[in-house]
Amino acid sequence: MIEIEKLKNKARWVRDETLKLHSLLPEVRVASCLSDIEIFVALYYGDILKYDATQPRYPDRDRFVISKGHGAVSLYPILADLGFFDSNELTKIGTPESMLVAIPDSTIPGFEMTNGSLGHGLGTACGIALGLRARGGKQNVYVLCGDGELNEGSVWEAVMLASFQKLSNLILIVDNNKISMLGYQKDILDLEPLSTKFEAFNWQSRTVDGHNLSEIYDALNDFKHDKSNRPKVLIADTVKGNGVADLCGDPLCHVRSLNSDVISGLIASNK
Amino acid sequence: MNNDTKTMRDALIEQIYLKMREDENIFFLTADFGAPALDRIRKNFKSRFVNVGIAEQNLVNVATGLAMEGFAVYAYAIAGFLSMRAYEQIRTNLAIHAQHKCLNVNLIGVGAGVSYDMSGPSHHCMEDLTIIRTLPNIVLFSPSDFTMAEKFTDYSLAVKKPKYIRLDGKAIRRIYPEQTEFDWEKGFFVLKEGHETCIISTGYMTHKALRVAQAAADKKKTVGVIDLFMLKTFDRESIAAKLKTYKRLITIEEGFKNKGGLDSLVLQIVNEHNISAEVKNFGFDDKYNFICQKREALYAQNSFADNDVSAMI
């Protein structure tokens, strides 16, 4: 049994650690990194994702492609906590001595790809899923995209292929934080109703509160055991800059940085 | 089609088919682009042949994912669309990624230069030599005949790097006898030793180079011909030693002239090695060609008909 309270505590801890990383490296896109924390926590601490921190590339692992690379710094503390790399790396972020950078690359244990350029992850994951299936593997391929990322046409080339090829081992999670760089997606290139669009392409779709660990866990656990022959999408409704009131209300929060006094205050109030 | 004329794509794909029969680790992907030789692969390897649809970006992305899982992948499309529609996919997922990972993705682009002569500027591919050459970690192969294209198969499987294979769209004549062994690391082939003048060419232009050399021979002049087929990478020292022996170097390429393709590459070697030869470059002028006409007429219009090249010798 997964204890949701434990997951919630982890999420709070990850938030603080992410804020600390941002204070060390202001280039970290902190608002993007705060919206997907519960997704990472459910995957790694909720027994959804199969991994081995001591052998990050072991063949039986589930693959996790983080297509919204700029929002993945909040995964660093989790990977360090689980032993993918030494926790000391976290304090060295952004220095020439550290492997940790503002946008993760595949030299970091636990990251499959070099992301940062949007719209590549889902198509690449389709290739991984085809390859695993050809070998009769039981692994799943998880992908994290942002909702703004769905503006990229290449994503929809992959959406079409995934259902046509019946990639049942492919699970896309959309961090639907509703804001891209210049404001709300509804004012830029509105894709709502999003789930209807995926269903029209013959995907299985489910929408949850992306900060409710119980809902995320239940949905991912169902998807993990689903035997249908369709790819699956979890639309996680999230808040960009979640947990930081000052960021949440700001349509331009994508490019905002927080100063270290603000960060110290936030961490103190989270105790 | 006689025994001495064949498309490079059919020659290569026939070999890939034979390899796929022996090796389950090979995938063939296409962006809905065909070839007579491809039909056997479509029919016999249903799970390892994937038509991603008319979607070159996804072609490269799916190929990347398969290569990440250790498969050798061929990704097949029209050259101009593969190299330019999917350029950022090639750069981000293949070139960047391949710096520290083995990714055996063989991009096969068909329709080099104006081999789709009658289809107009959208199908002419004048840019790929330049733009692919600028990417680190990618092999750039530009064969001049079908023997060379088919002989590349073993190398394409053995060397686990991203590669761009630039194929002519037309059935063209054989240059190299079937038994020819190519030195892929050296990357060039001296087809004719000459005196004073040497032509350096790639792809179909090597046929032009040989014709020009023959015309010169008829006038008792021996012109050298070097077929540079691995534009990335090749043995620079070795080719420089050859070029040093000439007083005049002529480059011919089916791409824009002086834009970073074959000519720039040769000029760079000339500079690096203080070669004192005079250099003349032939290729397409800095504009697109809209008139519907045959290949030779397009060369003439851009001042590199055989006679234009011969006039320099």
| DSSP assigned state of A141 | E
Condensed to tens digits (0 to 9), the pLDDT of residues B26-52 reads 999 999 999 999 999 999 999 999 999
Domain span including residue B195: 188-310
Interval A108-124: pLDDT, tens: 999 999 989 999 999 99
Q: Which residues of A109-136 are buried (b: 16+ CB within 10 A; e: fewer)?
A: bbbbbbbbbbbbbbbbbbbbbbbbbbee
Backbone φ/ψ region at B120: left (φ over 0), alpha (ψ -120 to 50), beta: left
B159 in Cβ contact with B130 (< 8 Å): no
Asked if the C-beta of B71 comes within 8 angstroms of chain A's C-beta atoms, the answer is yes
Domain's final residue, options B144, B173, B202: B173
Interchain contact B58–A (C-beta under 8 A):
yes
- Structural domain tally of chain B? 2
Give the C-alpha separation, A55 to A37, whole Å: 24
Residues B241, B138 within the same domain:
no
Helix or strand (DSSP H, E) at B136: none
- Smallest CA–CA distance, residue A155 to chain B, in Å, is 8
Q: By the CB < 8 Å criterion, does A160 face chain B?
A: yes
Q: What is the CATH number of the domain that holds B77?
A: 3.40.50.970
**Predicted local distance difference test score (pLDDT) of residue B124:** 97
Chain A: residue whose CA lies nearest to B51 = A161
> Are B167 and B68 within one domain?
yes
pLDDT bin (cut points 50, 70, 90) of residue B1 is very low
pLDDT value, residue A120: 98
Q: Assess contact for B287 and B256: CB atoms under 8 A.
A: no
Decide if B179 is inside a domain: no
Per residue in A115-168, pLDDT (tens digit) is 899 999 999 999 999 999 999 999 999 999 999 999 999 999 999 999 999 999
B153 has a chain A CB within 8 A of its CB: no
pLDDT in tens, B135-194: 999 999 999 999 999 999 999 999 999 999 999 999 999 999 999 999 999 999 999 999
What ranges make up the beta strands (E) of B36-173? 49-51, 72-78, 105-110, 139-141, 163-167, 172-173
**Domain final residue pick, B140, B173, B206:** B173
Residues B53, B167 within the same domain: yes
Confidence of residue A270 (pLDDT cuts 50, 70, 90): confident
- At B46 the pLDDT is 93
pLDDT, residue A249, reads: 83
Measured between CB atoms, does A158 come within 8 Å of chain B? yes
Mean pLDDT of A94-100: 94
Give kind and range of the element (H or E) at residue A173.
strand A170-176
Same domain? For B158 and B117 the reply is: yes
Contacts of A132 in chain B (CB under 8 A): 69
Best CA proximity match to B151, nearest among B161, B141, B138: B141
Euclidean distance between CA atoms A72 and B303, whole angstroms: 54
* Domain match, B122 and B46 both: yes
Q: Are A20 and A88 in contact, with CB atoms under 8 Å apart?
A: no
Q: Which residues, at least 6 apart from B3, have a Cβ–Cβ distance to it below 8 Å?
A: none
Whether residue A97 has pLDDT greater than 60: yes
Contacts of A111 in chain B (CB under 8 A): none
What is the distance between the alpha carbons of residues B180 and A189, in angstroms, rounded to a whole number? Answer: 57
- Residue pair B208/B306 in contact (Cβ under 8 Å)? The answer is yes
User: pLDDT by residue (tens digit) across A23-66?
Assistant: 999 999 999 999 999 999 999 999 999 999 999 999 999 999 99
Burial grade of A153 (CB within 10 A; 0-12, 13-18, 19 or more): exposed
Q: Which residues on neighbouring strands pair with residue B165, listed in sequence order? A: B108, B141
**Residue B271 belongs to a domain with what CATH number?**
3.40.50.920
Q: Is A244 on the interface with B (CB under 8 A)?
A: no
Q: How far is CA A100 from CA A28, A57, A87, A109, in A?
A: 11, 18, 11, 10
**CA-only gyration radius of chain B, Å:** 19
Assess whether the previous peptide bond of B233 is cis (omega < 30° from 0). Answer: yes
Find where tokens 């192969």 sit: B141
> Does any CB of chain B come closer than 8 Å to the CB of residue A127?
yes
Left (φ > 0), alpha (ψ -120 to 50) or beta: where does B111 sit? left
* pLDDT tens digits for range B262-301: 999 999 999 999 999 999 999 999 999 999 999 999 999 9
- pLDDT > 60? residue B2: no
Half-sphere exposure of A183 (CA within 13 A, CB side): 5
d(CA B209, CA B194): 12
User: How many domains in chain A?
Assistant: 1
Does residue B226 belong to any structural domain of this protein? yes
Whether the predicted pLDDT of A271 surpasses 70: no
- B66/A130 Cβ within 8 A: yes
CA distance B259 to A202: 46
Mutation site for A-interface testing, chosen from B24, B58, B60 by largest number of A Cβ within 10 Å: B58
pLDDT in tens, B144-154: 999 999 999 99
- For residue B45, list chain A residues with Cβ-Cβ distance below 8 A: none
> Which positions ≥6 away from A259 have C-beta within 8 Å?
none
Segments forming the whole domain that contains residue A219:
4-269
Is the per-residue pLDDT at B18 higher than 70? yes
Looking up tokens 């992959």 gives A158
Give CA angle at A231 (A106, B104), nearest 5°.
40
CATH number for the domain spanning A53: value is: 3.40.50.970
- Please check whether residue B166 touches A, CB under 8 A: no
Quick one: B79 and B228 in the same domain? no
Q: How far apart are CA B201 and CA B213, in angstroms?
A: 12
For residue A203, give the DSSP letter: -
Of B58, B60, B67, the CB nearest to A161: B58
pLDDT digits (tens, 9 = 90+) for A184-196: 999 999 999 999 9
When pLDDT is averaged across residues B215-223 and rounded to a whole number, the result is: 97
Question: Has residue B181 been placed in a domain?
Answer: no
Q: Which residues contact B39 (CB under 8 A, 6 or more apart)?
A: none
Least confident range of A34-43, A259-268, B114-123: A259-268
Q: Is the pTM of this model over 0.95?
A: yes
Q: Which of residues 85-114 of A touch B (CB under 8 A)?
A: 106-107, 112-114
Q: How wide is the angle at C-alpha B189 spanned by C-alphas B171 and B235, nearest 5°?
A: 125
pLDDT digits (tens, 9 = 90+) for B97-116: 999 999 999 999 999 999 99
Instruction: For residue B79, tell me if it sits in a domain.
Output: yes
Strands (E), chain B: 5-6, 26-30, 49-51, 72-78, 105-110, 139-141, 163-167, 172-173, 188-192, 197-201, 223-228, 230-232, 248-256, 278-284
